[in-house]
Structure 1
Amino acid sequence: RTRLFENGESIGDVIIDFDLVARTRFQQVERRRQRLESLGTLASGIAHDLNNLLTPILMSGRMLQRNNPSVDREGLVETIVSGASRGADLIAQLLTFARGGEGLHHAVGLTQFLPEIVAILERTLPGGIRLSLKIEDGLPQIFCDETEISQVVMNLAINARDSMTDTGELGIEATRLTLVTERSFSHTTLQPGQYVVISVSDTGTGIPLAILDRIFDPFFSTKQRGQGTGLGLSTSIGIIRSHGGAIGLQSIVGKGTTVSVILPAHVPENS
């Protein structure tokens, strides 16, 4: 509310009202849409792997149906059980990423969380792109909505993949960060304290300096028309800010990009 004056006399008020409920609903819908978009990418890679697993299972089953006494029945059964088990693991990984549950925050250890994401990502990368994971020893947990953070990391990794051709390096690294003074990042200022940083780096084309400041704007995208809405990074920074964190970005044209997700370290109440 702002009071308006003319010649020293009050002539009225200006009231600006925001519909926070509608805004919150839009953010929730957009996050679900982004997750579904990522799921489509992941599902295509996992479907290829499932097909490779089903082929020996079907062949082994048909050989068992023939009742040929010279067939190694025990070996064929082992092939079926092993393939089915690996297929179940693939489905479990996809379901883990697909599950909902916005707002369910709990302590998450990155030593288990990040390898699960990497296992899914490996199935979506061209053979010429090498994926690596580094996790600093003794890294503290983070208190987060695991589904939302996995969505952010997956989105950043898919963007990194798309910035490269058929060859390159995609790295995910988790480290500790201590801020002794407040520090500004993209659209966010963090206070002194202990943080955990999840960095996603690539050896792709890089982002030109002229558009670096716009990279997190809604509907802005460096991808060709039809390859993305441009809402991915905007949604990601919204998720991270809601967790009390920030996103940093460094890029060199022709050499690659590193996007860092900075989240508060979780300190248990009894520690």
Structure 2
Amino acid sequence: MAENTSWMDQTTEGFRPPSDLHPEIPHPARIYNYFLGGKDHFPADREAAEKVLAFAPATPSAARANRAFLQRAVRYVAGEGITQFLDIGTGIPTAGNTHEVAQQVDPAVKVVYIDNDPIVLAHARALMAGPGHGATTVLQADLRDPAAILADPRVREAIDFGQPVALMLVAVLHFVDDEQDPYGLVKTLLDALVPGSYLILSHATGDFDPPEHSAAGKAAYQKAAAQVSPRSHPEVLRFFEGLELLEPGVVAVPKWRPEDAEAAEAWAPGYGAVARKA
């Protein structure tokens, strides 16, 4: 795919109509957008978000800490020479997107965004309609069907799977419950990548909170399009089996290579790590 191809060029095929937005059903991407201070959410999303804020008022700062982890991880991996990023569960576009960070390091970086929410595609198309963006593609697909993602001709056109790829699963796997085999989904994706590829992953946890907070968090997402399944440190570590974990390993997201001491002490109920496929 040629450089300076916009998202607008890549999203016409397979784009679902606005009738799929389901504004009456809270959606994790829109709830997260609310926490980040965005404007792309509906009353049902705000209601669910406010239930979380009632017992965890620091959640917006935690969302920002997770976003900052993504940016640091992308910057590092791009600096290691990775020029292809497959970002699954990207969420609604906000400042400091994967493509913006990576293409600052190397303008030739190619990014494919995957999300199952049509509102994400709608806003991505608007964001990318103008000039100045590198080789970036956005597609509507579902993490729970990784084989379909890998087989999609548009993904194959954008990414050369014969070369290393950075697979990004940032704040998405906690929306996949155990019955949907999250470890199997990640393995399917990793098996398609050549050695030298990277996994960038963050995941919600209840390890840092009293049990009643975790229960309240799950309840807040009960009516959402996807329920939340926080996982413990050993459970998150399991996603990296067979990979070479980069220092400092699986840690609270603010503590993954922080850029300043104050940021490292931010509260965030989630783990993050980056690993390399040998």
**TM-score class, shorter:** under 0.3
Which has the larger Rg? 1
Q: With structure 1 as the length reference, what TM-score do the two structures score?
A: 0.26
Which structure's residues are more often strand, by fraction? 1
